[in-house]
Structures are given as C-alpha cells and as structure tokens.
C-alpha cells in the first residue's frame, strides 16, 4: 500500500510540473496560431508583440497602466489594437 501512495505522489507531482509549463507555453502559442489569414492576422501578432514589450516596460519602470497612451496603438488598425491590448495586459501584469 505504501508503494501505491509513493506512485500516486510521483504522478501527481509530475502532472503538476508539466501542467504549469504547458499552461505558460500555451499562451504564447495561442497568439501565434492563426486568428484568420492574411494581413489582419499579422497585424494582430505585431500588435501583441509590441503591446507585450510596452506593457513589460511600463511595469518595470513603475508607470501607470495606460495601454492606449502610445502613438503606435492609436495609429494601429482594429486587429493591431486588439493584439496590443492582449499583449500589453500580459506584459503589465507580468504573465509573459
């Protein structure tokens, strides 16, 4: 019976470690997956990457949360701004 408890513990530990890594990695790949085709998809990805960078920078420098304050956001199309918002949030909150 004791060996069953050890096995259950090892399996639970392994699932927990792998599950966390999978969840962290999954968010990145979700944004690289096609959200459609063509230019709109590329605009979303570019907005996400730039928003992520700006959000991280704002968090590290102690700035207030203001994703729409940047010129790049204001000048982007709808798909760019959608990606920017998601990326900025993740970067500012420290999720990426």
pLDDT exceeds cutoff 90 at 10:
no
With beta carbons less than 8 A apart as the criterion, state whether 38 and 77 touch: no
Single pTM value for the model? 0.60
Kindly give, in sequence order, each residue whose CB lies less than 8 Å from that of residue 88, ignoring residues fewer than 6 positions away: 51, 52, 54, 55, 58, 67
For residue 89 the two structure tokens come to 């949030």
| 35, 57 contact by CB (below 8 A) | no
Sorted by where each begins, the domain ranges of the chain are: 1-33, 36-96
Express each pLDDT in 21-63 by its tens digit. 434 444 444 444 444 545 679 999 999 999 999 999 999 999 9
């Amino acid at each position: 019976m004791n060996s069953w408890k050890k096995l259950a513990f090892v399996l639970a530990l392994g699932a927990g470690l792998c599950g966390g890594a999978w969840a962290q990695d999954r968010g990145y790949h979700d944004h690289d997956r096609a959200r459609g085709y063509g230019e709109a998809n590329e605009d979303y990805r570019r907005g996400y990457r730039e928003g992520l960078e700006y959000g991280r920078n704002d968090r590290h420098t102690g700035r207030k949360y203001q994703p729409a304050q940047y010129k790049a956001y204001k000048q982007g199309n709808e798909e760019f701004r959608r990606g920017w918002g998601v990326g900025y949030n993740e970067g500012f909150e420290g999720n990426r």
